[in-house]
Amino acid sequence: MKKWKKLASAALAAMVFASVLSGCGGDSKKAADSGDTIKVGASFELTGNVANYGKSILSGLKMATDEVNKNGGVNGKKLTVIESDNKSEPSESGNSITKLVTQDKVVAVVGPATSGCVAAGAPITTANKIPHIAPAATAPGITVENGKVKEFMFRACFIDPFQGQVMAVFADQTLKVKNVAILYDSSSDYSKGLAEVFQKTLEGKGGKIVAKEAFLAKDMDFKSSLTKLKASNPEAIYVPGYYEEVSKIIKQAREIGINVPLLGCDGWESPKLAEIAGKDALQGCYYVSAFSAQDQDPSVQSFIKAYKEKYQKDPDIFAMQGYNAGLVLVDALKRAGTTDGVKLSKAIAETKDLPVASGKLTFDENHNPVMPALIISLEGGTPSLKEKISL
């Protein structure tokens, strides 16, 4: 997941840091696996607007490393997770990852949750040749830039264009709607990108976007835009965004009499959606996800059982993605037999049919995992698996 606000300044600052730090990368790597431990950096949104995401991903990552350590560790060494809070801000992400690289001297970085925060820290890990796994960052530019794959950048989730396509397919084939309106966050590249792909895919199937309105992150009142969309008589409304704004949008849409299906993305994923919108308002709401407790895949059910035993609560998609990211790193460390950044990155890229919490994971040529997507229904306010779609 994904916010790109303040990204330009944050990325610039990160590149400055990176140019200064790249000369000391070798010393960092030597210290990262000294003695009987291997240090893994965890830069996450532990406070701020999307702290729910970061805390949940971190819990999954720590579960994976704890399991490995109980079974003897990796190559005779135990994994130590070093936590750092980026405060849900790209501008803080560079500082967070700089600390992990220069002070804590980690061998790899997992996180952050959002694409903006990942992108702001990527120049630092790349300059120091340290593998960087983004568990939930869905923006395509995280792993590929100007057609070139970034050697040290990986992700453990599907990308934005894929989920935009999936929701358009669901709208067309399952809901049988043709006339759809879009309400998107014009301050978010995540939201704008999803809206663009959804529109292109739906129109390619003979559908039509009958109206399109925009809002800004942290907006509170959406009734003016919703009223304009209602006037276009849409059969459904696509709202790519994050739960903070989406929960209010859903609530206000129902209040002004919009009763058509509301469609969304993985940014909707949060218990707060039902808390703020209200359970009744979620009737006819659907979003794309990569995880559901109702998925009967044995790998999924095994993960859920273990997570409940460890944390006494149900896991969400973010916990699953953190767990998967941890397993990817552990598997690569074992196969590489070293913490050398270049060799470890090569091992990650070669990951094939690795058993993870969502089934089996294989990286494609762009360092993206090959996996299906799930359509989650929110009927009655409780997320339930509606459909599994592979493109």
For residues 260 and 306, membership in a common domain is answered with no
C-alpha 362/C-alpha 364 separation (Å) is 7
For residues 148 and 165, membership in a common domain is answered with no
For residues 114 and 43, membership in a common domain is answered with yes
The token pair at 293 is 């407790």
Residue 8 pLDDT: 38
For residue 332, is pLDDT > 60?
Answer: yes
Residue 32 pLDDT: 53
The answer to the question of residue 102 being in a domain is yes
Residue 165 pLDDT: 96
> Can you tell me the mean pLDDT for 48-62?
95
375: enclosing H helix or E strand? strand 373-377
Instruction: Provide the domain count of the chain.
Output: 2
Report the Cα 67 to chain-centroid distance in Å. Answer: 23
Residue 15 pLDDT: 47
Residue 190 pLDDT: 86
The answer to the question of residue 379 being in a domain is no
The answer to the question of residue 257 being in a domain is yes
Phi (first) and psi of residue 221, to 5 degrees: -110, 120
C-alpha 383/C-alpha 377 separation (Å) is 6
Residue that has been written with the tokens 């292109």 in this structure: 200
> Can you tell me the mean pLDDT for 306-333?
96
The answer to the question of residue 381 being in a domain is no
Residue 87 pLDDT: 95
Residue 28 pLDDT: 42
For residue 118, is pLDDT > 70?
Answer: yes
* Domain of residue 356, residue span: 7-157+298-372
For residues 13 and 147, membership in a common domain is answered with yes
For residue 211, is pLDDT > 80?
Answer: yes
C-alpha 92/C-alpha 89 separation (Å) is 5
The answer to the question of residue 352 being in a domain is yes
For residues 302 and 153, membership in a common domain is answered with yes
Residue 84 pLDDT: 97
Residue 284 pLDDT: 97
The answer to the question of residue 378 being in a domain is no
C-alpha 211/C-alpha 233 separation (Å) is 9
For residues 49 and 152, membership in a common domain is answered with yes
Count of CA atoms in the C-beta half-sphere (13 A) of 281: 19
The answer to the question of residue 256 being in a domain is yes
Q: Tens digits of per-residue pLDDT, 221-259?
A: 999 999 999 999 999 999 999 999 999 999 999 999 999
> Can you tell me the mean pLDDT for 8-19?
46
Residue 375 pLDDT: 97
For residues 152 and 166, membership in a common domain is answered with no
Residue 10 pLDDT: 45
C-alpha 322/C-alpha 316 separation (Å) is 10
109: enclosing H helix or E strand? strand 108-110
For residues 131 and 23, membership in a common domain is answered with yes
Residue that terminates a domain, selected from 242, 263, 289: 289
For residues 187, 231, 180, 204, the Cα torsion angle rounded to the nearest 10 degrees is -90
For residues 203 and 345, membership in a common domain is answered with no
For residue 13, is pLDDT > 60?
Answer: no
Task: Please choose, from the candidates 158, 164, 241, 238, the residue with its C-alpha nearest in 3D space to the C-alpha of residue 201.
Answer: 164
Residue 277 pLDDT: 96
Q: Which segment of 63-67, 192-196, 249-253, 290-294 scores lowest on mean pLDDT? A: 290-294
Q: Tens digits of per-residue pLDDT, 77-112?
A: 999 999 999 999 998 999 999 999 999 999 999 999
Residue that terminates a domain, selected from 289, 316, 343: 289
For residues 314 and 270, membership in a common domain is answered with no
For residues 92 and 116, membership in a common domain is answered with yes
Q: Tens digits of per-residue pLDDT, 138-191?
A: 888 999 999 999 999 999 998 888 999 999 999 999 999 999 999 999 998 889
Residue 265 pLDDT: 96
The answer to the question of residue 377 being in a domain is no
Residue 370 pLDDT: 87
**Amino acid present at 175:** L
Task: Name the pLDDT band for 271 (thresholds 50, 70, 90).
Answer: confident
Residue that terminates a domain, selected from 269, 289, 309: 289
Residue 230 pLDDT: 98
Give the bridge partners for 264, in sequence order.
Answer: 287
Q: Tens digits of per-residue pLDDT, 15-53?
A: 444 444 444 444 444 445 557 899 999 999 999 988 999
> Can you tell me the mean pLDDT for 327-345?
97
| Contact predicate 192/225, CB 8 Å | no
For residue 5, is pLDDT > 50?
Answer: no
Residue 9 pLDDT: 44
Q: What is the mean pLDDT of the chain?
A: 91
- pTM of the predicted model, to two decimals? 0.76
For residues 224 and 143, membership in a common domain is answered with no
Identify the CATH number of the domain in which residue 147 sits.
Answer: 3.40.50.2300
